[in-house]
Amino acid sequence: MIAISDDLVAKYEHQLTRNISSEELTMFAAQLPALPHTAAKLLKLVDDPNSDADEITAAISTDAAIASSILKVANSTSFAQHRRVLTIPHALSLVGRRSLKSVVVAHLISGLNRQPTPTDLMVRDHAVATALLVRGLAQRLGRRDAEDLFLYGMLHRLGQFILLSNSRTRSMFPAVLRRIREQHEDYVTAEWEEIGFAHPTIGGLVAHRWNFPPELSEVMLRQETSFEIVENDTDFKTGLVKFASLAAHVAGIGTPDGYPDQRPLLLRLGIKLELLGPKPEAELAMLIEELQTIFKQEAALWSPG
Q: Are 154 and 127 in contact (CB under 8 A)?
A: yes
User: Above 50 in pLDDT, residue 8?
Assistant: yes
User: Per residue in 99-125, pLDDT tens?
Assistant: 888 888 888 887 777 778 999 999 999
In a domain, 165, yes or no: yes
Nearest to 243 by CA among 105, 137, 102: 137
In a domain, 1, yes or no: no
Kindly provide the b/e burial profile for residues 282-300, where b requires at least 16 CB atoms within 10 angstroms of the residue's own CB: eebeebbeebeeebeebbe
Same domain, 146 and 278: yes
In a domain, 82, yes or no: yes
Nearest to 69 by CA among 43, 117, 101, 29: 101
Q: pTM for the full model?
A: 0.87
Please report the pLDDT score of residue 2 as a whole number.
42
Q: Please give the Cα distance from 244 to 141 (Å, whole number).
A: 14
Same domain, 208 and 290: yes
Give the Cβ contact number of residue 132 at 10 Å: 25
Looking up residue 145, the CATH number of its domain turns out to be 1.10.3210.10
Q: In terms of residue numbers, what domain contains 231? A: 6-33+115-302
Same domain, 62 and 27: no
Give the Cβ contact number of residue 7 at 10 Å: 11
Same domain, 164 and 296: yes
Same domain, 164 and 98: no
Q: Please give the Cα distance from 301 to 70 (Å, whole number).
A: 9
User: Per residue in 251-302, pLDDT tens?
Assistant: 999 999 999 999 999 999 999 999 999 999 999 999 999 999 999 988 887 7
Q: How many domains are contained in the chain? A: 2
